[in-house]
Amino acid sequence: MSTDFHVYDTTMRDGAQQEGINLSVADKLVIARHLDDLGVTHVEGGWPGANPTDTEFFARAATELDLRTATLAAFGSTRKAGGSAASDPQVQGLLDSGAPVITLVAKSHVGHVERALRTTREENLAMITDTVSHLVGQGRTVMVDTEHFFDGYLLDREYALACVRAASDAGAEVVALCDTNGGMLPGQVHDAVADVIASTGARLGIHCHNDTGCAVANTMAAVEAGATHVQGTVNGYGERTGNADLVTVVANLQLKLGMDLVEPYRLQDATRIAHAISEVTNHPPFSRQPYVGAGAFAHKAGLHASAIKVDPDLYQHIEPKAVGNDMRMLVSDMAGRATVELKSREIGVDLDGEDETLARVLARVKTLEQRGYTFDAADASFELLLRREVGAGPTQYAQVESWRAITDVRGADVEALSEATVKVHAGGRRIVATGEGNGPVNALDEALRQALVVVYPEIEQLELIDYRVRILDAAHGTDAVTRVLIETSDGTTSWTTIGVAANIVEASWQALLDGITFGLMRGGVPVR
């Protein structure tokens, strides 16, 4: 693998500035291990001394992290104006972290120097030189992030260049040019990076934000202009619209430009790692994320499916397995026979040559989608539909006799209580169960589980993890048709089922029952 190109991750520092992300020390330790598995060269752990969490992280990392490919980096700033690096407590905190690499943020925009730092241009250059040389003298590898570089470059090119020279001449291994406001376009970035390299001879990196939607493109432009260090975050986390998605950047550089950055087997784990980090941050994976999103290689149009049946490469820019993803066929009212046939093959039901069955399934799908179903968002419900049509596998674990749900309100200041009763036949017996919950759907879920668990104890492993409702014809107001999507998990994987009805509780019941049925079938549980 290449040793002269840096893949520098800042998920745990810059990415953690995203609204709604709050990482504990334990979270950071888990994320660091995932990043190491991905094969990045540097993991930025945070700003030790600036907050207790980051200080504790570096202390624990010294004994709890065994990084195999990555080097841990601490982030901080240059010394204060008018002082010295040797006596600056913030600089000492960086040394105390024990991190072998220290990344300093430095001002390179004259407006920020004069109005934010409230110092002179000359003193800012001295702050860069003094801090970098002091840390290098202490045996640390130093990198410098020149904050607001591109805006500063457009305002005063000579001063921006002087900041790069100051950092490089003082011993910084890399000077990363930062599009802090995220307002640049690829052509601007390319030209500026090429100019800085020609003018200073410094080794450059790139750090882009996504405010124009160009963070990845700007990063690629910088590399093509000569940058040999890229910064980004997994899943594009970061404040405002986020940072460059590091997984996309690495995949582009390796799979499109042929750069040898990480071992292929590590890149093949990219989808798992991106989703695992999503779990830690508690931000659901973005289905349309390049390379690793659930929809990155999902095909819906019947024309696409017909071509893919002949050759998958006709509608895919790479082999999905190169990034640990997979092709998915989405079944919808756009589907043709090829879509249904490929989808059936995907789930282990071979309908090759079964023209009559294919036509029947396709007609059923189109009829249901006209009523509001959307099987491209509910693969589990489609699989149940298909298996029921062809009689493949257990698709009914209980015969439902009846169900009902009521909500009892006993006063304006008393919390409403919902109760549900479910009557089913399973395991050769009639079972009646009642459940209570904080709403009719929760109560139905409880009652259904109580009814089935006596016959199917495996149901205890299944958990409802997401519940989404959409009104399909809002013009009808409270009389509108409702679509409910429910995501269920067995603790390892998850699946989505759908229900559609004029009554929201009825739609929910359909999705609930299918979710549990699919979970039992997926787990290989026999009908009892």
Distances, alpha carbon 121 to alpha carbons 112, 117, 125, 202, 392, in Å: 10, 10, 6, 20, 75
Predicted pLDDT of residue 358: 76
Predicted pLDDT of residue 356: 76
Residue 334 banded pLDDT, cuts 50, 70, 90: very low
Residue 213: partners with Cβ closer than 8 Å, 6 or more residues away: 241
The percentage of residues in the chain with a pLDDT greater than 90, rounded to a whole number, is 60
Residue by residue, DSSP assigns 226-249 as T--EEEEBGGG--STT-B-BHHHH
Q: How many Cα atoms occupy the beta-carbon half-sphere of 228 within 13 Å? A: 11
The percentage of residues in the chain with a pLDDT greater than 70, rounded to a whole number, is 87
Would you identify the CATH topology of the domain 6-281?
TIM Barrel (3.20.20)
| Structure confidence by residue, pLDDT tens digits, 426-473 | 999 999 999 998 888 899 999 999 999 989 999 999 988 888 887 776
In this structure, what token pair is assigned to residue 298? 């999902």
Q: Is 393 exposed, middle or buried (0-12, 13-18, 19+ CB in 10 A)?
A: middle
Q: Which stretches of 450-519 are assigned E, i.e. beta strand? A: 463-471, 482-489, 494-501
Predicted TM-score (pTM) above 0.75: no
Angle ∠(226,230,236) on CA atoms, nearest 5: 140
Other CB atoms within a 10 A radius of the CB of residue 153 amount to: 26
Residue 3 banded pLDDT, cuts 50, 70, 90: low
Predicted pLDDT of residue 307: 52
| Structure confidence by residue, pLDDT tens digits, 97-134 | 999 999 999 999 999 999 999 999 999 999 999 999 99
- What does DSSP say about strands 229-232 and 141-147: parallel, antiparallel, or unpaired? unpaired
Q: Are 69 and 42 in contact (CB under 8 A)?
A: no
Distances, alpha carbon 79 to alpha carbons 35, 48, 126, in Å: 30, 15, 9
What is the edge-to-edge ordering of all strands in the sheet holding 417-426?
399-408, 417-426, 429-437
| Structure confidence by residue, pLDDT tens digits, 276-327 | 898 788 787 777 899 988 677 676 554 444 555 555 666 677 888 888 877 6
Distance CA 208, CA 160 (A): 17
Q: Which stretches of 127-257 are assigned E, i.e. beta strand? A: 141-147, 174-179, 204-208, 229-232
**Is the confidence at residue 210, as pLDDT, over 90?**
yes
Domain range 375-389+463-528, its CATH number among 2.60.40.3880, 3.30.160.340, 3.40.1210.10, 3.80.10.10: 3.30.160.340
Q: Are 467 and 458 in contact (CB under 8 A)?
A: no
* More confident: 123 or 522: 123
Average pLDDT score over the chain: 87
Distance CA 479, CA 345 (A): 39
* More confident: 26 or 480: 26
Predicted pLDDT of residue 494: 83
Predicted pLDDT of residue 341: 63
Find the helix or strand (DSSP H, E) in which 425 lies. strand 417-426
Is the Cα torsion angle 337, 341, 343, 344 positive or negative in sign?
Answer: positive
Q: Where are the domains of the chain?
A: 6-281, 298-370, 375-389+463-528, 398-455
| Structure confidence by residue, pLDDT tens digits, 341-386 | 666 666 667 666 667 777 777 777 777 777 777 776 677 888 888 8
Q: Do domains 6-281 and 398-455 have the same CATH topology?
A: no
Task: Calculate mean pLDDT across residues 31-57.
Answer: 94
CA-wise closest residue to 340 among 326, 357, 320, 315: 357
The CATH class of 398-455 is alpha beta
| Structure confidence by residue, pLDDT tens digits, 242-257 | 999 999 999 999 999 9
Angle ∠(378,333,516) on CA atoms, nearest 5: 20
| Structure confidence by residue, pLDDT tens digits, 141-189 | 999 999 999 999 999 999 999 999 999 999 999 999 999 999 999 999 9
